[in-house]
Structure 1
Amino acid sequence: MRDNFKGKSIILGAPKYFKINDFLKRELYHLGFDQVIEVSYDYYKFRYKNIFQHTKSFIAKTFRNRPHYKQYLMFKAIEPQLIASLKDVKKVDYALLIRPDTYSSSFIDVLHTKAEKVIAYQWDGLDRYPATYPLIAKFDSFFTFNPADVSLDGVLPVTNFGPASYSRKELEDKNRLIDIYFSGSYEPKRINTLERMIEQCTILGLNTKFIINSSKARIVKTCALSVTNKQISFEENIRNSYNAKIIVDLVFEGHTGLSFRIFEALAFDKKIITTNKQISKYEFYDTSNIFIWTEDTTADDLRQFIEKPYRIVNDFIKNKYSFENWIKYVLDYGNFTSISLPE
């Protein structure tokens, strides 16, 4: 464990889906934080109390221009419990909320009474979650990974990041070895891309693992695409990514920022196939390591990419996009390399 943040404490609020909060807590302790106090919660488990609450939500979303009213109800149900959990917390150094749109304005005010500095990171495009806009000014610093959002007042640029706390020895697993790996949430437009990608991989005889996570049963064409309603934890994805030769990344519609998969590939010296054309604007873009998939991609195009030797990325760039540098940058602590986004 490193001692960069020895003696420091932080309140962490992050989504619990895929156990991302556990991953972040591990990374923070790895860097020497003495205390990580969680205000994370699982908003996907929310259920309406009754038909009247459901109807009220429908009216608010449909007729009163409050599309995220259900999200408001989700947090209001858990807010008293989270505030109570902070009752005995004395002043801490930092509070960091990831997906701040899932918290209320009043709760952010509570955090300001507990932390010297309150920071937010929105890893989804702001247009997808407009409830975020009125919260921006409430933070000491507000970051986004989506270049299109950086033009807004009070919004600072930052990318996602690669893991820093895992050793190669810890991650190596012969039972996970695979040529190409993908895991991601269900989105209708992703299915056709995945099916075509699998077809081209099959032509080349590649050993693949493509997983779609969906809370509902989904039917896809007959191909090597697995659909599961069981969440694959963030750590499990990291282990799978490490033991793959190539990692697949599919960009969400409305996003131009780079996903975690990109930075895992960078950290682990892995090749990546992505549908995010914006990656060509980043300093680590190299056609030997990164392939931009299009509708016209053929098996021969893919073969040529696979046959290219991986070109090692220098340590300065890899360290720049690691969690260690990321957290120093967003907390404005110690020596760090600033992280910008392309225009």
Structure 2
Amino acid sequence: MMILEKKRILFIAPSFFGYEEKIADKMRELGAVVDYFDERSVTKPLEKALLKVNPRIFHRKTIRYYDNIIKKIANNNYDFILVIKCEMMPKETIDKLKELFPSAILCLYLYDSLRNIKGISSKLSKFDRVLSFDLEDTEKNKNIIFRPLFFIDDYKKDISNKDNKLYDISFIGTIHSDRYRIIREIKSQADKKGYKCFFYCYLQSQFMYYFYKLTKKEFRGVKKKEFKFDKIGSTDIAKIIDNTKVVLDIQHPKQTGLTMRTIEMIGMNKKLITTNESIKKYDFYNPDNIAVINRKHIEIPQDFYEKPFKKLNDKVYYKYSLEKWIIDVLGLED
């Protein structure tokens, strides 16, 4: 399907575990010419860590960064401008893009909750289409379209209920909020039951490790070797998950939208343990496939492991693919 044939797209998104490359590649596969730029003006680990503390620290650098991008693309013609998150892009830049490319459709996709993206509310009205993965945000804001995340083609797998998996439980993700406390508790319970575990606890930099040591009590006595400071690629993640019986998902406590890991489990036909109660509202929810746990009173449900995975219907499965996500975000079927 070449639904984007002869279309040119300016794609601006943060670098997040290589998914931005997968999105760009899929749009090209659908026929588009894609010009990609990182949404963040900072790339060093320490800078990214400071960005979490206060995005305004890099305001001047960010203005220069986007001015350089505009110089590079000024002579192009775009049908769509797709921005993801828009955490660092200044409002002035959005205005310049609208002025330079008046016929382009400006689309914004949010894979974080509004309250977690500083300054985003003042930017929303500048876009033609705004979509979010957060159901709660879209229910409160009628101008935001609800659109969950996607799974990439690497995660398309047939159902396998075989017991010869390397791991009973796996978790791969960035450490934030109370995630590490929950992981430690689940690991303790899993060890007592003899479960084999794989936990990849990623921190953006060593600075974040020391920062958390000073600010989070659950980090007291925790050694640096328990964390990883290098990102793991999506292909490697898919291999680990393929060799896992049940995957653990821990959403941010201030976030109700479903994480990428949750949607990837749809693609892989994989069982999931999650702290996100809102998953029960989704069309793919089945208690035989998904166990919801209380983040404050953690208990691994024993019988959950014994039930085989129940297959989803094809229409629901395709809905969460990257191809359908692109079609929906750009409004190609509206």
Aligned match of 2:216: none
**In structure 2, how many angstroms separate the alpha carbons of the residues matched to 1:17 and 1:322?**
18
Asked if 1 retains the 8 angstrom alpha-carbon contact of 2:177 and 2:252, the reply is: no
Q: 1:233 to 1:297 in 2, by over 3 A?
A: same
Asked if 1 retains the 8 angstrom alpha-carbon contact of 2:293 and 2:299, the reply is: no
Aligned residue among 94, 97, 106 for 1:108: 94
Letter in 1 for 2:297: D
SS of the residue corresponding to residue 79 of structure 1 reads helix
SS of the residue corresponding to residue 180 of structure 1 reads strand
Q: 1:278 to 1:166 in 2, by over 3 A?
A: closer
**In structure 1, how many angstroms separate the alpha carbons of the residues matched to 2:94 and 2:132?**
18
Aligned match of 1:69: 56
Which consecutive segments of 4 or more residues in structure 1 shift more than 4 A? 46-49, 165-169, 218-223
Aligned match of 2:278: 278
Aligned match of 2:306: 307
Aligned match of 1:159: 148
**In structure 2, how many angstroms separate the alpha carbons of the residues matched to 1:17 and 1:78?**
19
Aligned residue among 67, 70, 75 for 1:83: 70
Unpaired segments ≥5 residues, structure 1: 62-66, 170-175, 336-343
Shift of 1:273: 0.8
Shift of 1:86: 0.7
Aligned match of 1:119: 107
**In structure 1, how many angstroms separate the alpha carbons of the residues matched to 2:64 and 2:45?**
10
Q: 1:311 to 1:221 in 2, by over 3 A?
A: farther
Aligned sequence identity (%):
22
User: Superposition RMSD on alpha carbons, in Å?
Assistant: 2.9
| Relative contact order, higher structure (CA 8 A, sep 6+) | 2
Aligned match of 1:228: 228
**In structure 2, how many angstroms separate the alpha carbons of the residues matched to 1:221 and 1:246?**
29
Residue pairs, 1:185-224, within 5 angstroms: 185-214=174-203, 215-216=205-206, 217=209
Q: Across the two proteins, how many residue pairs are aligned to each other?
A: 309
Letter in 2 for 1:19: G
SS of the residue corresponding to residue 247 of structure 2 reads strand
Q: Deviations over 1:52-78 (max 9, x none)?
A: xx9xx9xxx9xxxxx642253442141
TM-score, length of structure 2 as denominator length: 0.83
Aligned residue among 120, 133, 145 for 2:121: 133
Of the structure 1 ranges 132-141 and 16-25, higher mean CA displacement relative to structure 2 is found in: 16-25
SS of the residue corresponding to residue 75 of structure 2 reads coil
Asked if 2 retains the 8 angstrom alpha-carbon contact of 1:14 and 1:20, the reply is: no
Shift of 1:123: 1.1
**In structure 1, how many angstroms separate the alpha carbons of the residues matched to 2:21 and 2:173?**
18
Shift of 1:177: 4.4
